[in-house]
Chains A and B, each alone.
Chain A
Amino acid sequence: MSQKVSIRIDGELISATQGQTILEVARASGKYIPALCYMEGITPVGACRLCIVEVAGVNRLLPSCTTPVQDGMSVTTNSKKLQLYRRMILELLFAERNHVCAVCVSNGHCELQALAQKLGVTNVRFAYSYPKWNADVSHERFVLDHNRCVLCTRCVRACDELEGAHVWDVGMRGVNSRIICELNAAWGESTECTSCGKCVHVCPTGALAEKGRAVEEMVKRDDRITRLAMRKGGR
Chain B
Amino acid sequence: MAKVKLATVWLDGCSGCHMSLLDMDESLAAIAKKVDIVYGPLVDAQEFPEGVDVTLVEGAVSSVEDMKLIQLIRQRSKMIVALGDCAVTSNVPSMRNSIPVKKLLNRIYCEAVTAQPGIPSDGVPSLLRHAVPVHEVVKVDLHVPGCPPKADAIAFVLTELLEGRKPDLASKVKFG
Chain A positions near chain B (C-beta within 8 angstroms): 94, 98-104, 107-108, 110, 113-114, 116-118, 120, 122-125, 127-128, 130-133
Answer yes or no: B91 CB below 8 A from chain A CBs. yes
* Inter-chain pairs besides A102-B91, A114-B174, 13 sampled, C-beta below 8 Å: A94-B175, A98-B95, A100-B89, A100-B92, A102-B92, A113-B175, A113-B176, A117-B175, A120-B170, A128-B94, A128-B97, A131-B98, A132-B98
3 closest A-B pairs by beta carbon, nearest first, are A101-B176, A120-B170, A102-B147
Closest to B144 in A: A122
Q: Are A98 and B89 in contact (CB under 8 A)?
A: no
B94-A100 in contact (CB<8A):
yes
Cα A94 to Cα B95 in complex, Å, equals 14
Q: What's the least CB distance linking A88 to chain B, in Å?
A: 16
Q: How far is it, in angstroms, between the C-alpha of A176 and the C-alpha of B107 when the chains are bound?
A: 27
Binds A, one of B21-29, B35-43, B129-137: B129-137
Contact partners of B95 in chain A: CB under 8 A: 98, 100, 103
Q: What chain B residues lie within 8 Å of A107 (beta carbons)?
A: 176
Does B58 sit within 8 A of A, measured CB to CB? Answer: no
Q: Tell whether B173 is near chain A: CB-to-CB under 8 Å.
A: yes
Indicate whether B90 reaches chain A with its CB closer than 8 angstroms. yes
Asked if residues A98 and B98 are in contact (CB atoms below 8 Å), the reply is yes
Beta-carbon nearest neighbor of A118 in chain B: B171
* Total residue contacts A-B, CB cutoff 8 A: 76
Which of B92, B98, B174 counts the most chain A CB atoms within 10 A? Answer: B174
In contact, A94 and B89 (Cβ under 8 angstroms):
yes
30 contacts between A and B (CB under 8 A): A94-B89, A98-B94, A98-B97, A99-B175, A100-B89, A100-B91, A100-B92, A101-B175, A101-B176, A104-B176, A113-B175, A116-B175, A117-B173, A118-B171, A120-B169, A122-B143, A122-B144, A122-B145, A122-B169, A123-B88, A123-B135, A123-B140, A124-B89, A127-B136, A128-B89, A128-B90, A128-B97, A130-B94, A130-B130, A132-B98
Nearest chain B CB to A27's CB is how many angstroms away? Answer: 20
Minimum CB–CB distance from A128 to chain B (whole Å) comes to 7
Q: Does B85 contact A (CB under 8 A)?
A: yes
Whether B97 and A130, one on each chain, are in contact in the complex, defined by CB atoms closer than 8 angstroms, is: yes
Cβ–Cβ contact B171 & A120, under 8 A: yes
Does B73 touch A at the CB level, under 8 Å? Answer: no
Q: Chain A residues near B144 (CB, 8 Å)?
A: 122
- Give the complex CA separation of A102 and B97 in angstroms: 16
Which of B85, B140, B170, B171 is the one whose CB lies under 8 Å from A102?
Answer: B85
What is the minimal beta-carbon distance from A118 to any residue of chain B, in angstroms? 6
Cβ–Cβ < 8 Å partners of A113 in chain B? 174-176
Q: Chain B 43-76, CB within 8 Å of chain A: the 1/0 string?
A: 0000000000000000000000000000000000
Assess whether B82 is interfacial by the CB under 8 Å rule: yes
| Assembled-state Cα–Cα distance A78/B89 (Å) | 27
> In the complex, which residues of chain A have a beta carbon less than 8 angstroms from the beta carbon of B140?
123
